[in-house]
Structures are given as structure tokens and as C-alpha cells.
A = this chain, B = another copy of it.
Amino acid sequence: MNASDTKALSIGVFDSGVGGLTVLKALREAMPHENLVYLGDTARLPYGTKSPVSISRYACQATAQLQQSNIKLLVVACNTASAVALDALRQQMHPLPVIGVVEPGATAAVAARPGGKHLVLATEATVRLGAYRKAILDKDPQAEIDELACELLVALAEEGWNDGAIAESIVRRYLVELDAASRHPDSVILGCTHFPLLRNTFATVFDDGVSIVDSASTTATAARSLLTDFSLTNEQNAAGTLRLLATDGVTRFARVGGQFLGHDLSAEDVTLVDL
């Protein structure tokens, strides 16, 4: 395969469900000419409560499916899979690049608040793995980090109840688990792809001036840099194509996913695949 072939290929985006569509949306905005193919492993979601061995196996199977669509870059738009399976996925994609959501989020948080106090909001698995803690301390040994598992916010975002009194009281209830000082961080890292939908709620609950670090947009920026560095950008003038694949429940994927992608989807827009 020569360089010009490579440029015309797609960016593959993988998540356990619909949450990664926030990353897909950011990728489209950052690179409107790129072809994108998204796979949501809805048959086996949520990854957040599963064991590392299962998560790695599922991620590798999903990636094999995306490889059949001729991808030039894999974006792992799932915090749990980014925390657990990145090495395995890099082996599988070699020599093509793989980018997860944890690293760009950690980089952005450290850049925004060097030596600062960071609060990571994530799923149980991401917190248990301490992925953000490791990634942040690696870049900034002076950083202070708290991590808080907020499973209920996933269901809240899928229900579309992103703003208002219920969302705010749930976030405040989670914060009770932290000591008083930790409730006033310099940066809040949205360590789950569902959480950008709750951005307004976080802005209301946390102090004025807090940096809200969204892995979706930071990952899109990192992906664009990577493609540029490796001369893999698509230079077509037309808008890039978009393919959506799901392993189960295409009707629900379309209904809930539309909220994440920012425009309506119908079940016909989503192709069912079996891994």
C-alpha cells in the first residue's frame, strides 16, 4: 500500500456503546474531510464493570472488525478499553497508529493546570485501574489527583437528563464521598465518554474558573496531529463519509446515539455486525 492509498482510508473509532460518539463528533468537527467508521460493541456493554481480561478480548475482536474496513488509525473512544487494552491493540494494529482517550485527557489537564489539583470523574473500572492517575503523574509529579466513580451518570446521559435539578443533585451526592478540599479542584477531567453531555451540569456544580477537560475534543486534536505528523491526512475536498456499526440493538443505538452525535439517527443509519 502506498502513501496516497493510505490517505484515502478511514479512521476507525471503537467504543463499548454509544458514548464514544462524543469522540466521533469531535473527530468530525476537527477533520471534516476524513472518512470515519465507528463500531459500538453494544452487545457486550458496559465494559466499565467487566474484568480486564474480558475487556481486552472484546476490544481486540472489535478492532479486527474495524480492520476489515481498511482503517489507517484506530481511536479507542472508550476510557475503560484505553486503560486496559491499548498495548494489545497497538500490537494488533502495527505498524498503524492507535490512540486512546486517557493520554490526551491527562495531557490537556496538566497543560491547563500544571502542579494543580485534578478530579477525575469516570466509571468504576477506569477508577480502579488508576489510568488517569498514572498518566497525569507521569507528566507532572507535583499534581494532586482524586478519582471518583460515578456509574449513575452514564445512565443519566443515556436517558438524556443532562441538565437540571436531578443531574445536579446526583453530581453533588457523589462529591460527598470526597473530603471537603477535594470538592474544589482546579480541573475536572471527564474520564468517561458519556460525561461531555453533562458539561453544563458540571459547570454549575463546580467552582467558577475550574477547567473542565473533555477527552473527546482533546483526543480529536491529538488524532489530527498524529495524522499530520505521519502524512496520513485525507486531502480530498469532499466531506468525509461516516459508517456506524453496532453489535446489537441498532434501534436503541440510533435513538440514544443521536443525542451523543448531535443530530438525529435512524436505525437504517446503523449496520448490525456480529463479532
Instruction: Give the B-binding residues of A (Cβ under 8 A).
Output: 42-45, 49-51, 54, 124, 151-152, 154-156, 158-159, 161, 165-166, 169-170, 173, 248-249, 252
> A170: which B residues are within 8 A, CB to CB?
166
**Docked pose: A252 CA to B170 CA in angstroms:** 21
Closest to A53 in B: B248
Q: Is the CB of B49 within 8 A of A249?
A: yes
Minimum CB–CB distance from A195 to chain B (whole Å) comes to 14
Minimum CB–CB distance from A88 to chain B (whole Å) comes to 18
Residue of B43, B154, B158, B165 near A50 (CB, 8 A) is B43
Minimum CB–CB distance from A273 to chain B (whole Å) comes to 13
Q: Is the CB of B151 within 8 A of A158?
A: yes
Minimum CB–CB distance from A119 to chain B (whole Å) comes to 19
**Docked pose: A45 CA to B156 CA in angstroms:** 18
Q: Is the CB of A156 within 8 A of B166?
A: no
**Docked pose: A196 CA to B71 CA in angstroms:** 47
Residue of B50, B152, B252 near A249 (CB, 8 A) is B50
Query: When A44-B44, A152-B159, A156-B152 are in contact, do A248 and B169 touch as well, CB less than 8 Å?
Result: no
Instruction: Given contact pairs A51-B248, A51-B249, A166-B170, enumerate 15 new A-B contacts (beta carbons under 8 Å).
Output: A42-B49, A43-B44, A43-B50, A44-B44, A45-B49, A49-B252, A50-B248, A50-B249, A151-B158, A152-B152, A152-B159, A152-B161, A154-B155, A161-B173, A165-B169
> A124: which B residues are within 8 A, CB to CB?
252
Minimum CB–CB distance from A50 to chain B (whole Å) comes to 5
Q: Is the CB of B151 within 8 A of A155?
A: yes
Closest to A124 in B: B252
> A252: which B residues are within 8 A, CB to CB?
49, 124
